[in-house]
A and B are shown apart, each in its own frame.
Chain A
Amino acid sequence: MGGPAEQPDFRSVSHAEDWPLWEVFIRGRRGLSHQHVGSLHAPDPELALQNARDLYTRRGEGVSIWVVRSTEVHASDPDDQGPLFDPPSDKAYRHPTFYTVPEDLQL
């Protein structure tokens, strides 16, 4: 049996390389699209899916799981927040709020 002397030296293992980070997306029972729910570590896609199942669908949350290597996600730069997201804020006409709904329309 593996006593203390048999324990591998985990410090010698390149953790980030062998157990990289994955982003997890779950589609719920009534959901139409996958939603980002969190991240986890796993050595490969199959185990990432298994781990996602154990970490994020324990209470019957999901019917479908996607996992994506975190390094494959390209994010917008927080410093660009102004140029990226401010321009539409004074263009209220882009919202569909200027239509008059006919009185007899059942929504």
Chain B
Amino acid sequence: MTAGVAGLSVVDLREVALGFGDDCLVLSHRLAEWTTHAPELEEEMALANLALDLLGQARSLLTLAGEADGRDEDQLAYWRDDRDFRNLLLVEQPNGDFAVTMTRQLLFSTFQELLYRWMVTGTEPRLAAIAAKGVMEARYHVEHARLWVQRLGGGTEESHRRMCRALDLLWPYTEELFEPTESWSRAADQGAVPPLSSIEEPWRHSIESLLVDSGLEIPGFPAWQSGGRLGRHSEHLGHLLAEMQHLHRSHPNASW
């Protein structure tokens, strides 16, 4: 195995960048689905901005992931099938109502900000550069989600009910956030990425304190869904990819 920077193998760097890049790409697509459907014009712009931030991060990460075997970002985004995607199950879950979308954003962006914050000083310079740019964006995404979760949780009876339902629906998928793949563990040993166990406590604390402030609570059952990082996805990802990839596959190499 070729050794990359800081003793990180090219394959491990590829797997780490691919997993994290796929998270950004898939969630970006989900958020873009709100375009023309958002409850307010202003919120539609906000969601589109989040989607574009994540798309930018996805491009950097997939470009990095593709270097190992000479594939570019488009080949990775458009020519892989669902079994080859390495994103978390959480980000592929359908938008549902606005409470589901904001809960998903809160759970993921809080996780992402903690990772980026750590990776800025990691030993892999390209990951650190992507993290340095992404951390400011992630901070804003977290802030946006927190403002809405507070308002929905403490809003009307109906908004509170929907927030509770959204948490029950998405909580099972949070287990996987802290399950490292073998590549991730080796990258963590090399100091390129944090051990996921070190992120879990601050993540849980951040989510829990917000929920308490918002009159909500972490669901009483354990999280248990996982498999996305290994390519075992819910049926939702296939439908998402069909829409995302259809145009490119119908007209290979077409450009604007």
Interface size on A, residues (CB 8 A): 18
Residues on A with beta carbons closer than 8 Å to the beta carbon of B100: 1-2
Bound CA–CA A6/B39 (angstroms): 14
Q: Chain B contact residues (Cβ within 8 angstroms of A): what range?
A: 10 to 19
Contact at B97–A2, with CB atoms within 8 Å?
yes
Give complex CA distance A41, B45 in Å.
Answer: 12
Taking a contact as CB atoms under 8 Å apart, the answer to whether A54 and B147 are in contact is no
CA separation between A19 and B143, bound complex, in Å? 20
B243 within 8 A of A: no
User: Which of A27-35, A45-53, A69-77, A95-103 is found at the contact surface with chain B?
Assistant: A45-53
* Contact residues of A between 4 and 40, Cβ < 8 Å to B: 6, 8, 10, 19, 40
Contact call A50/B46, Cβ cutoff below 8 A: yes
Contact of A54 among B39, B42, B151, B162 (CB under 8 A): B42
- Besides the known contacts A2-B100, A42-B42, 11 further A-B residue pairs in the complex with CB atoms under 8 A apart: A2-B97, A41-B41, A41-B42, A47-B151, A50-B46, A50-B143, A50-B144, A51-B43, A51-B46, A54-B42, A55-B42
Most buried by B among A41, A54, A55: A54
Among residues of B, the one whose C-beta sits closest to the C-beta of A53 is B140
From B42, B45, B96, B144, name the one whose CB has the most chain A CB atoms within 10 angstroms: B42
- B151 near A43 with CB under 8 A, answer yes
Tell me whether B157 is interfacial, beta carbon within 8 Å: no
Query: How far is B42's CA from A40's CA once the two chains are assembled, in angstroms?
Result: 7
DSSP class of B's interface residues: helix, strand, loop or mixed? helix
* Chain B contacts for A55, CB-based, 8 A: 42, 45
Cα of A42 to Cα of B43 in the assembled complex, Å: 9
Whole-angstrom CA separation of A40 from B158 in the bound complex: 26
Asked if A91 is at the interface (CB within 8 A of a chain B CB), the reply is: no
Q: Which B108-150 residues sit within 8 Å CB-CB of chain A?
A: 143-144, 147
Q: Is the CB of A47 within 8 A of B97?
A: no
Q: How far is the CA of A6 from the CA of B169 in the complex (A)?
A: 16
Contact present for A58 and B42 (CB under 8 Å): no
Contact B41 A54 (CB under 8 A): no
Q: Are the C-beta atoms of B49 and A54 separated by less than 8 Å?
A: yes
B40 within 8 A of A: yes
- Complex: how many Å from CA A8 to CA B45? 21
Q: Which residues of A contact B227 (CB under 8 A)?
A: none
Q: Is the CB of B49 within 8 A of A51?
A: no
Q: Is the CB of A47 within 8 A of B96?
A: no
Q: How far is the CB of A1 from chain B (nearest CB, A)?
A: 5
Contacts of A50 in B (CB 8 A): 46, 143-144, 147
- Pick 12 A–B contacts, CB within 8 A, sort by A: A1-B96, A1-B97, A2-B162, A40-B42, A41-B41, A41-B42, A42-B42, A43-B151, A44-B151, A50-B143, A50-B147, A54-B49
